[in-house]
Structures are given as structure tokens and as C-alpha cells.
Structure 1
Amino acid sequence: MALHLLKLCVGAESIEDLAAHIEWRFSTMRAQGLEPEQFHTTRMLPKRMDELLDGGSLYWVIKGNVQVRQRLKDIRPFIDGEGISRCNLVLHPELIATNWQPRRPFQGWRYLVSADAPADLGSTGAEIADMPMEMRQELASLGLL
């Protein structure tokens, strides 16, 4: 069973904001002549890397709810210019909408076992993904999503 990560998506108001940010980063990389690659830099290196890379995803908490996930491609440790150990969580750029799951704020990232991860929005959830963000937030706050 795959192990996942849970992370706050700071600065994004919606899945659409996150998608726009990813596209902006890709266009910036292309303009610099680099191969576009989606990654998130974090200070802590996961100790359970093998489990994470065996089908794991990074689940993003946006506005207090898990809303979307990205599959993990790789985890690359490195030392930054100030000598601090960090790692890049390399992600597939595809955003996979999930059922909303409320989460309280936390720092860093957390492990998330598959049994506790929200399900992906399937064909029955397509209507939810098409709803305006404000409507989704209100329905989620009422416990209806």
C-alpha cells in the first residue's frame, strides 16, 4: 500500500490557482531553456522514501481542505547555497482533484496512509469540480462535500 505526503498549499486559493502557478513556472523554465519540471522544495527529507515512491502522491491542502493531489516521481536531496540540507519533491504536473477533506493548519508535511487519503473525484464528481470555488467552499463548510 502506497504512502503519501500531506502539505499545505500556501498562496493558492483554489486548484485553478495552483494550476496557473505550475504553468507559470513551466513557462519560466522554458524561457530559460530548461526542461520544465514540477517540484516542491522542502527542508526535511522523508525517511520513508521507498514507500512514497511506490505509487505515492503529494496531497495539497487548499483553504483548509485536501482538494487535489499530484503523483510523486522522485525525491532528490541536495545542499542549498547556504549549506542547508533540503530536498525536491518531484511531481507529475497533472492535478488530480479529490473529494474534499477538512484539515487543520500544520507546518511542513505529514505522512498520509492510503486508508486516510481522500478518494479521487470520479465521473460522479465531475459536477463538483465544475462548481465555482465559492460554492465548493460553502458546501464543504456545511459538511456537504
Structure 2
Amino acid sequence: MTSTVNLIKLSVGTDSVEGLAEWHATKRAQTGDGLPRHVTRMWPKREAEILNGGSIFWVIKGAIQCRQRILRLDEQIGSDGIRRCAIVLDPQLVRTQSSLRRPFQGWRYLTTQDAPPDLPEGRENEEALPVELNQALAEIGVL
């Protein structure tokens, strides 16, 4: 039986979940069938686990703030002839409980046990805590 694993990725140049949604609405960020995608140089070795219900968790302004379900991985050959991986995503952004993350390059695997839970129904439109407050709460063990 295949387990599930997620990816975690910094959303560079994005200041909010709404900003990420705006980027995904651009033609440049979409596949031919209109779905949002993220193109990466490396192909995930744990493809079967990712495609078994995995999501990409987005780090925005130092904290995981939302996730998107990963629908498929498409091969994309760049104009330079290099093979890349287009991570094709469900358009729905699901807000999660905020979870601080230090900067890193590329993407990382994130187990389902380490992934922050989705916000409860009715709270998905709440503003995230300011980064400084979130960090202070994490430091004293509240988050």
C-alpha cells in the first residue's frame, strides 16, 4: 500500500494567499488545460506517494498559510532542452493553520504528520497572524 507525502515550497514574491491566487490566475502559471502549475527543475523521487492524495504546502512570509492538492506531474521540456517537472495543482487554495518555517531552496517533502491542519470551516477567510506575533507564540510553545 502506498502512503501519502506532501511537498512544501516557498512562494517567492507573494505576500498573501490572495497574491498566490492572483499569480495562479495568470496564463503564465497555468497548464494548457487552465490548471495552475509550479515548474521545478527536479522530478520528485516519491512520485507515487505525492500522487496518492498529496498537497503542496505554501510558505508565505515565513509561515505555511495554505495548501493545494497535487493532481499530476507533467514533463515539460524547456527551450533549453532540459526536462523539468510541472506540478499541476487543484485551483482551490485551502487555508491551513499557520506554521512558521525557515527559508530553504527548492521544495522539501512534508509528511502528513508534520503538515499543519486545515483551518476549520468558517475560519478559512481569517487573516493570518502577523509574522512577529506568530513567531513569539511559537517560541513560547503556544503554536
TM norm structure 2: 0.85
Gaps of at least 5 residues in structure 1 are: none
Which residue of 2 is the match for residue 122 of structure 1? 120
* 2: CA distance, partners of 1:120 / 1:28: 24
Which residue of 1 is the match for residue 10 of structure 2? 8
Structure 1 vs Structure 2 CA RMSD: 2.2
1:39 pairs, out of 37, 40, 58, with 37
1:141 pairs, out of 132, 135, 139, with 135
Which residue of 1 is the match for residue 103 of structure 2? 105
Map 1:52-131 → 2, pairs under 5 A: 52-123=50-121, 126=123, 129-131=125-127
Gaps of at least 5 residues in structure 2 are: none
Preserved CA contact (<8 Å) 1:68 1:95:
yes
The size of the alignment, in residue pairs, is 136
Give the secondary-structure state (helix, strand or coil) at the position aligned to 2:113: helix
* 2: CA distance, partners of 1:9 / 1:92: 16
Give the secondary-structure state (helix, strand or coil) at the position aligned to 1:86: strand
* 2: CA distance, partners of 1:88 / 1:117: 22
Preserved CA contact (<8 Å) 1:26 1:37:
no
